[in-house]
Structures are given as structure tokens and as C-alpha cells.
Amino acid sequence: MPIELPPLPYADDALDPHISERTISFHYGKHHASYVKNLNGLIEGTDLADASLEDIVRTAEPGGLFNNAAQVWNHTFYWNSMSPEGGGDPSGELAAAIEASFGSVDDFKQQFKDDATGNFGSGWTWLVRDGDGLAIVKTDDADTPLAHGQTALLTIDVWEHAYYLDYQNARPAYVDTFIEHLLNWNFAAANLTASTGV
């Protein structure tokens, strides 16, 4: 069964003015869709034709198959890491876990901002559950925590195509906007709860 391009969790223009409909149309409609098309071409007629996307990511060797599968997964996760009603601060179990691992929510935000801004080249910055605590990890290109036994809670895409039409080379402004206006704490909290079985 082919891997499908999942629908966005909101309308193409729902993140305006922070991320434009034009950016979404290219990023989701061209880049993400292209990874799905490429992946289906790579698995067609193979033992992976009926495998889940997660299983492909976890088992693929470095190269084209892994890159396309991981980018499909990463992008789907990224869209859900944002919300038109995002930003603000976390609450409940997630807030407590962030405070235990980073000292405070503000300290987490600053470290996440610094890491995302300083993530050299193309890649992703993630909040993950790693063992009993939380950590911020940076991955290059298509790499993903899913391939390393970590549970992703949220991510920001720092490939230039994620922000260049709206922010040009001002990655710090894009990262600030993501944290303050788009970050979907409810999605991150649900991922944390699912990972702990609580």
C-alpha cells in the first residue's frame, strides 16, 4: 500500500501572518509531496511496499530510501508541531518535565532558540524524551530521532525552504516566531503522555 501525503492539520493560510500560504504551498505542496512520491517509487515492488512509514525509517540504510522516508515523517511531524493557536507556555506534566530537565520553561525556550538558530546548514531541531528526561537534539539533513530510539515531542524545520520566502536569511526571526506564536504545546504534551503510558 503506497505511503500517502497526509492532509495538513489546518488550512493552507491558517498560519498567516507568521508563515504564509505561499510558503505552505511550496513546502507542503511541493517539497513534502515530492518526498512522498520519491519514497513510493523506491518501495514499489519491494518487500517494503506494505511496510509502515515508521518501520521504513527505522530499518533503512543511509541513502535515498532513508532520506525520503525520514523527510516524509519529519515533515508530517513538523506540521503538527505548529498550530494557529500556538505559542504561550506549556502546562501540566509537560511543563513539569521541561522544568525538571531545563530549569524553567524560559530556559528551555532560550536553549531551543539557540540550538535551532545555530543548527548549521539544513536540518531539524527537536524536543525529545530520552530515557527519563527531556533533551534538545539537532539532526542534519533528513536524520530524525525516530532512527535513534528517541521519542520526538516537537520539532522545527530549519531547512531554508521552511522559511526563506517569508524571512529570507533571518532564521532567528523565524525561530522566534515559531516559539512565540506557533509552537503546539498540546501536540508535544500528547506525545509525552503517549511515551510514558500515563
The phi and psi torsions of 136 (rounded to 5 degrees) equal -100, 125
Q: What is the bridge-based pairing of β-strands 151-157 and 123-130? A: antiparallel
* 7 has pLDDT over 60: yes
Confidence label for 105 from pLDDT (cuts 50, 70 and 90):
very high
What residue ranges do the domains of the chain occupy? 21-80, 92-196
Are residues 111 and 102 in contact, defined by beta-carbon separation less than 8 angstroms? yes
Q: If you classify domain 21-80 with CATH, what class do you get? A: mainly alpha
Strand partners, 174: none
> What mean pLDDT, rounded, does the chain reach?
96
* 193 has pLDDT over 80: yes
Q: Which CATH superfamily is domain 92-196 in?
A: Iron/manganese superoxide dismutase, C-terminal domain (3.55.40.20)
Q: What is the mean pLDDT of residues 7-13?
A: 97
Confidence label for 197 from pLDDT (cuts 50, 70 and 90):
low
C-alpha cell read off for 59 = 530499518
How many angstroms separate the Cα of 5 from the Cα of each of 105, 114, 159, 181? 34, 31, 19, 26
Q: What is the mean pLDDT of residues 84-98?
A: 97
Per-residue pLDDT tens for 130-184? 888 999 999 999 999 999 999 999 999 999 999 999 999 999 999 999 999 999 9
* 196 has pLDDT over 90: no
